[in-house]
Structure 1
Amino acid sequence: MDVELQINNSIAPEARFVTWSPSPCRIRVTNPSGANTPTVSVKITGVSAANGGAVRFRSGPTGAFASTLTLTVPTSGATVPFFTAGTFGQPSTSNGDVKIEARVGNTLVGSVGLMVRIRKNASKLTNAERDRFIAAFAKLNNQGLGRYSDFNNMHKVPNLSQAHAAPGFLPWHRAYLLDLERELQALDPSVALPYWRFDQPAPNVFTRDFLGESDANGTVKFRNGNPLEFWKTDSTPGISRTPDFPVSQAPPNPMKEAQTLALGTQFRTFRSMEGDPHGLAHTSFGGFIHDPPTAAKDPLFFLLHCNVDRLWAKWQRQNGRFDPAATSSFDDRPGSRPGHRLNDTMWPWNGITSATDPTRPPTAPGGSLATSLCVGAPGLQPRVRDCIDYLGTVNAGSNMGFGYDDVQI
C-alpha cells in the first residue's frame, strides 16, 4: 500500500513549507494493494533530523495539536484533510529536515519531507543559513541587473509618501518585506528573511562573511567568495555604511524592545515607533541606510525592517491586535493619504500611477506582489487590511505564510 501526503493541499515541492500557523494538508491512498477493507487506519508522525524542525498535527481547523494523528483513510483514493504546523521553538535549519511519515500498523506507507521555515535572528543563523541567504540576495541583485532594482526603486523619492509618515507605514513595509522574501524563495525556497535585532549586540552580522565590515571611509568590505562583494545598485558598485557605534555592541539610541512594546495598547500610539526605534536605527549609521531615499541600496535595510515588523508582530500578539475591523488594530483615518486607509490597495502592487496627481507616484516598479504555493494571502494587490492578520488568527485565509522565531501564534 502507498499513500500520498499533500502539504498546503499540494504535491508540489515548493508547497512543502510550514510556519507556526496551521497549514491545510491531505492524505490519500494511491495504491491500495493489500487492503481488504474500504478504509484503513493511518498514523502520521513527524520525524526530525538532528537540529531539524518539528511539526504537530490535528484533524480539523480547530482544536489541540498533537505529535501524532491517526486518520481513517478510504482505500478508494479519496482525500482526507488534516492540519500541520511547526512546533514553536523548533524551526528548521534546512529544507526537508523534518518528515511526515505515514504508517499502517508498523509498515511505512508514505512520507514527505518539509521545512518549518521561520524568520530568525540574523546573529544566530547557522553558517549554512547565512550563506544561503546572502547567495540568494546577491543573485536577486545580479550585480545591479536583477529584480532587486525594483525593490530599490520602490523606496525612492517621489515614492516615499506611499509608505511613510502615516498609518500605513507598518502594513506597507510588511508587504514589501514579503514581496522580497518570496522573490528570494523563488531562487532558494529554504530562505527566510532574518532580522537584525538592533537593541542587542549583533557582531556576527557586521562581518566580512555576512553583511560586510566597514572600513575607515565607510566602504563595506567582504571576504573573497562572499556573493555580496559584487553588489551594485543604480549602476554604482559597493555599499556605503558607517556605524556610529561599535559593532560589537548595540546602537545606543534606538528604543529597547520592552519600551517599544509598551508604547500603548492602541495602534494609534504604537505606530509612533516609526520614529523611535525605527528611525533611530537607520540614523545609527552614516551612508546609504541613514536616509530613506538611499536606504534600500544596502541589504541591511531589509534586516532592519524585518525587526521592525517583528516588533509589530510581537505587539500584536501581546495585545491581541489581529482583527482589521477593530480600531485598536489599525489607525484608520478618513483623511489619510491614499494607501494609508484600511481598505486602500497599496502602491506599487496596485499599479496606480499619475503624472499629475501629487498623491500618486509616476511609476509602479515590480508589478503585483509575488505569489506563494503555500498561502493565498495577501493577494496580488494587497490592501492595508490584508497585512494585519498575518498569522490567520482571526481568519485562516489571511495567513501570509511567515512567522518569527520568538513570536508564538
Structure 2
Amino acid sequence: MKLLQILVKSLISSVIIVDVITLPAFAHNGMDHEHHEHQHTAKPQTRLAVRKDVTDLSSAEKKDLVHAIKTLKTTIPAGSQLSIYDQFIAIHLGATRLIHNHHGHSHSSVKELAHENAAFLPWHRQYIRRFEQALQTVNPKVSLPYWDSTNPKALDVIFKDDFLSPNGRGVTINIPGRGSFTGGPVQSGPFSSANGWVLKPELNFDPVTEQSLGTSLVRFLQAPPANDYPLPQRDIDRVQALDDYSLYRAALEGFISVDEQGNITRGGFTHNYIHGLVGGVQIDLTTNPVSFKGLGTMSNIPSSPYDPVFWLHHANVDRLWAEWQANGHEGIDFYPADGQPYGHNLDDLMWPWDGGMSTPEATALADLLSLLPDVDAQDLVRPRDVLDYTKLGYIYDRHQMKEVPEPTSTFALCSLTALAAISLRKRKQQQIKYRQL
C-alpha cells in the first residue's frame, strides 16, 4: 500500500495551463510592458486583493465567487468562439498539448511550457492572477481564496451544494483490496450540468486517446489510492525548508519529497497529489512503466481548470511559494537564470505572453489552434516579472514565518551571515542528493 501511495503522489506529470484574453481589464499583468529589454515598471496599486483561506469565507463571499466564475463561463467576447472561462482552458491546453517553436533561439519544439520545469511556479502565478483579474471585472470585491490542504475543515467547506458542488455520483469503481467507491458526474450544486456548468467537449479530452471526455464536471473525491487527507503538515514543512529553487519547485509540484532524515525521495503530498485526490486516479502496476489513468476532471491535467477547485488549489501552491520567498528566498538569486528549456529561464518570455516568440506547430490537435485567444503583442511576461507577487496586486492573509534574529546587533548580523552560509551549503548538498535519484 505504501508503494501505491508513493506512486500516486507522483502521478500527474503533464499539467496544462492557460492564460488570458484580449480584454482591457486583464490584458496585462498589472505591469507596464514596453519593448525595452527587461524594463517593467509597476503601475500604482490602489488596493491589494487579499486572498483568504477558503474556510474563512463568509456565505456572501462564497456566493460572489460562484457568481463571478459562472459569469465568465457564459460571457463570450465579440469575435470569439469561446467564453472567457473556456479561453482559459484553451490556453492551458496550448501550454501543455502543443509543440512550440521559439524564434531566434536554439531551444525549439518545447512541449511543456507550464509544468515539469522551473516556470511551473511563475507561469501559474501569472495565470491565476489573470483569472482573478477576470473575476474582478464581474465583481471588484472578489479575490481567489486558497485551499490549505493541511486544513481538515476545507473539504466540508468546498465540496458543498452551496459552494463548488459536491463529489460526483452515478459511477461505482471497484478497487482491489479496498472495496467499491462512487464518483462520476457532479449532479447538484452550481457546477452541475443541470445548473449550467457545461464543458466544451473539444477542450475536454483524454490526453492519450484524444477522445472527448464529455460535457460534465467529473469527480471521484478521495477514491483510493489518493484518499489521504488532510495532508501532513510535517511533509509540507520539509518542502518549505528546502533552499534550492530547482529542488523546491520539483517538491512543491509533487515529483520529489523530503523524508524525516532530510533525504530527497520520489513523489510527494503536494500539487500533483491534490489533482488526484479530487479527480481520482487508477494505477496499473502490471504495466512497465506503471500506468496512471485519471478518472475525473481534476486528474485530467490539460483541462483540469474546468473544475473550479483548480483555482483554489493553485492559489495555495502560489501561497506556499510566496511564503518560501518571504522566508529568505526572495529575488533573482532564487530562480535559475539559465540552463532551463526556453520559457523557463529568468528572462525568457513565457508563452502566451511572449509577443509571438513561440509559435504553436500544427499537430493532431490542429483544431485547438483556431480556438486560442489573441494576446496583445505588447503583453510580455518573464519569470523575473512575477517574482514579487505584491506588484501583481494581491497579498495573502497570513504567512508562516521562520524565527530569525533582528539584524540590530553584532550577534544578529553574524547569525544572519551564518544562516546564509548554511543555506548555500544545504542547497549544494540537496542538489547532489537529487542528482543521485
What does residue 4 of structure 2 align with? none
Establish whether residue 170 from structure 1 lines up as the match of residue 138 from structure 2: no
CA drift at 1:355 = 5.1
Stretches of structure 1 that go unaligned for 5 or more consecutive residues are: 1-13, 15-83, 86-113, 371-378, 392-398
Establish whether residue 332 from structure 1 lines up as the match of residue 324 from structure 2: no
Which residue, out of 353, 356, 359, partners 1:349?
353
What does residue 314 of structure 2 align with? 305
Secondary structure, aligned partner of 1:174: helix
In 2, the alpha carbon distance for the partners of 1:339 and 1:199 equals 32
What does residue 382 of structure 1 align with? 381
Are 1:119 and 1:192, in contact at CA under 8 Å, matched by a contact in 2? yes
Secondary structure, aligned partner of 2:343: coil
Secondary structure, aligned partner of 1:170: helix
Which residue, out of 299, 319, 323, partners 2:331?
323
What does residue 66 of structure 1 align with? none
Deviations 1:87-118 (A, max 9, x none): xxxxxxxxxxxxxxxxxxxxxxxxxxx86630
Establish whether residue 142 from structure 1 lines up as the match of residue 79 from structure 2: no
What does residue 231 of structure 1 align with? 197
TM norm structure 2? 0.56
Secondary structure, aligned partner of 1:171: helix
- Greater relative CO (CA pairs within 8 A, separation 6+): 2
Letter in 2 for 1:345: L
Letter in 2 for 1:402: Y
Which residue, out of 126, 147, 152, partners 2:58?
126
What does residue 372 of structure 2 align with? 365
Deviations 1:75-95 (A, max 9, x none): xxxxxxxxx99xxxxxxxxxx
Stretches of structure 2 that go unaligned for 5 or more consecutive residues are: 1-24, 26-43, 77-81, 99-110, 170-181, 202-213, 255-267, 281-295, 402-437
- After superposition, residues 4-83 of structure 1 pair within 5 angstroms as none
Which residue, out of 256, 269, 274, partners 1:281?
274
Higher helix share: 2
- Counting aligned pairs with the same residue, the percent is 30
Letter in 2 for 1:333: D
Cα distance, 1:166–1:226 mapped onto 2, change above 3 Å: closer
In 1, the alpha carbon distance for the partners of 2:233 and 2:112 equals 23
In 1, the alpha carbon distance for the partners of 2:223 and 2:300 equals 17
Deviations 1:386-405 (A, max 9, x none): 011222xxxxxxx1101111
Cα distance, 1:289–1:224 mapped onto 2, change above 3 Å: closer
CA drift at 1:228 = 9.3
Higher strand share: 1
Cα distance, 1:227–1:243 mapped onto 2, change above 3 Å: closer
Are 1:143 and 1:233, in contact at CA under 8 Å, matched by a contact in 2? no
CA drift at 1:251 = 4.5
What does residue 247 of structure 2 align with? 269
Q: Say which one has the larger Rg.
A: 1
In 2, the alpha carbon distance for the partners of 1:230 and 1:298 equals 14
CA drift at 1:333 = 2.9
Q: Aligned residue pairs: how many? A: 276
CA drift at 1:408 = 8.4
CA drift at 1:249 = 8.1
Are 1:143 and 1:230, in contact at CA under 8 Å, matched by a contact in 2? no
Are 2:61 and 2:142, in contact at CA under 8 Å, matched by a contact in 1? yes
What's the Cα RMSD here? 3.5
What does residue 393 of structure 2 align with? 401
TM norm structure 1? 0.60
Q: Which moved more, 1:161-170 or 1:235-244?
A: 235-244
CA drift at 1:120 = 0.8
Cα distance, 1:265–1:280 mapped onto 2, change above 3 Å: same
In 2, the alpha carbon distance for the partners of 1:294 and 1:322 equals 32
